[in-house]
């Protein structure tokens, strides 16, 4: 399945793109939003694309080469890294503050299907779920990143019952978090839980039949919680929001597309606080959501919410 960018038309329109602008795509992925941005900022524009998935960057570099994507009298800069590190990335690449930033917090369908790292509960794979496996790019080549990120297998097999329950409740809003954590601890005493298939089995044992009346897979929220926790997704989101004045010039625009309530709540509250402090002007009093037509053609867009703000002070 190909990853289809959600709310593409709305995002491009709100960014207010013009020739010569410098735009950052903080989650460039397969380049769905980036390809449209390129059309609007040429001639003379600059696109900085960042992604934590090294494979995504390599594939996009190949796509640019194969399809001849380029900006007339401008440039494309692709970086394997974390959008939370944008102030550092701008400095390393000798780039000034940008005219716009887009971050799509959604999860790539391609990453789900082909990563082999256990992101999907529909496949039996090793329990990993890390976006970054410990290396980052520098001007001198590959270097080890500072703190090694734990795999989900390590967490599931070593954290206490309370710690696991807290992860499931806080990051997955799972109402049966305690029962699931208790069952995980019981089962890992018999044998370590090392695959997605085994974790799904344990979760199903914990919740029993009739979970959510069959509306969702019993493992949905547990997998979401573990992925968010392992990759520090909410912490990274808060970091970028705090650093917006260092990244975006005055009158620059920021568009963030989120897919669940935890992310949306963080974005909403930060934008409100920025407006209250006179640092920004909210462009979306209510979040922009997908049209019925888009939901039909791309069901993934059903839960997407877009919020945007103009930076006043930086």
> What tens digit of pLDDT does each residue of 135-172 get?
443 334 443 444 568 999 999 999 999 999 999 999 99
Nearest-angstrom CA–CA distance, 29 and 291: 23
Domains of the chain, each with CATH number or no CATH: 8-111+233-311 (3.40.50.150), 150-230 (1.10.150.170)
The burial class, CB within 10 Å (0-12 / 13-18 / 19+), for 103 is: buried
Nearest-angstrom CA–CA distance, 297 and 119: 23
The pLDDT value recorded for residue 115 is 77
pTM: 0.90
The pLDDT-based confidence of 69 (bands split at 50, 70, 90) is low
The pLDDT-based confidence of 109 (bands split at 50, 70, 90) is low
Average pLDDT taken over every residue of the chain: 90
The pLDDT of residue 108 is above 80 = no
Residue 97 or 210, more confident: 97
CA-closest candidate to residue 47, choices 58, 33, 67: 33
The pLDDT value recorded for residue 140 is 40
Nearest-angstrom CA–CA distance, 247 and 235: 17
Residues comprising the chain, all counted: 314
E strands present in 233-311:
248-258, 280-282, 305-311
> What tens digit of pLDDT does each residue of 165-211 get?
999 999 999 999 999 999 999 999 999 999 999 999 999 999 998 89
Report the pLDDT averaged over residues 276-296. 96
Cα distances from 254 to residues 196, 240, 267, 310, in angstroms, run 36, 11, 11, 6
Q: What are the structure tokens assigned to 224, written together?
A: 């979401």
Long-range CB pairs of 270-273 (<8 Å, 24+ gap) are: 270/238, 270/241, 270/242, 271/307, 271/309
Cα distances from 41 to residues 18, 73, 75, in angstroms, run 5, 11, 10
Q: Is 182 helix (H, G, I), strand (E, B) or coil?
A: helix
Nearest-angstrom CA–CA distance, 64 and 66: 6
> How many angstroms separate the first and last alpha carbons of the chain?
40
The pLDDT-based confidence of 86 (bands split at 50, 70, 90) is very high
């Amino acid at each position: 399945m190909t990853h289809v960018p959600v709310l593409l038309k709305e995002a491009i329109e709100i960014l207010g793109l013009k020739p010569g602008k410098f735009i950052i795509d903080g989650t460039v992925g397969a380049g769905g939003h980036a390809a449209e941005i390129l059309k609007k900022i040429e001639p003379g524009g600059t696109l900085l694309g960042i992604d934590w998935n090294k494979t995504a960057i390599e594939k996009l570099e190949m796509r640019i080469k194969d399809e001849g994507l380029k900006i007339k009298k401008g440039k494309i800069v692709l970086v394997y890294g974390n959008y939370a590190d944008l102030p550092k990335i701008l400095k390393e690449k000798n780039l000034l503050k940008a005219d716009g930033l887009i971050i799509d917090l959604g999860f790539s369908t391609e990453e789900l299907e082909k990563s082999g790292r256990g992101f999907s509960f529909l496949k039996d794979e090793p329990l990993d779920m890390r976006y970054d496996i410990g290396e980052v790019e520098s001007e001198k080549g590959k270097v080890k990143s500072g703190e090694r990120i734990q795999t989900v297998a390590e967490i599931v097999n070593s954290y206490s019952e309370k710690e696991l329950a807290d992860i499931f409740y806080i990051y997955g809003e799972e109402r049966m978090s305690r029962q699931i954590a208790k069952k995980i601890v019981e089962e890992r005493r018999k044998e370590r839980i090392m695959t997605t298939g085994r974790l799904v089995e344990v979760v199903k044992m914990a919740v029993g039949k009739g979970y959510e009346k069959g509306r969702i897979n019993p493992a949905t929220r547990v997998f979401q919680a573990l992925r968010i926790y392992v990759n520090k997704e909410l912490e990274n989101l808060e970091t970028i929001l705090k650093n917006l004045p260092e990244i975006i010039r005055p009158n620059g625009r920021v568009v963030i597309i989120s897919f669940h309530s935890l992310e949306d709540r963080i974005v909403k509250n930060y934008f409100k606080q920025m407006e209250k402090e006179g640092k920004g002007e909210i462009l979306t009093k209510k979040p922009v959501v997908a049209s019925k037509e888009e939901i039909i053609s791309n069901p993934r867009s059903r839960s997407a919410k877009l919020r945007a703000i103009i930076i006043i002070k930086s």
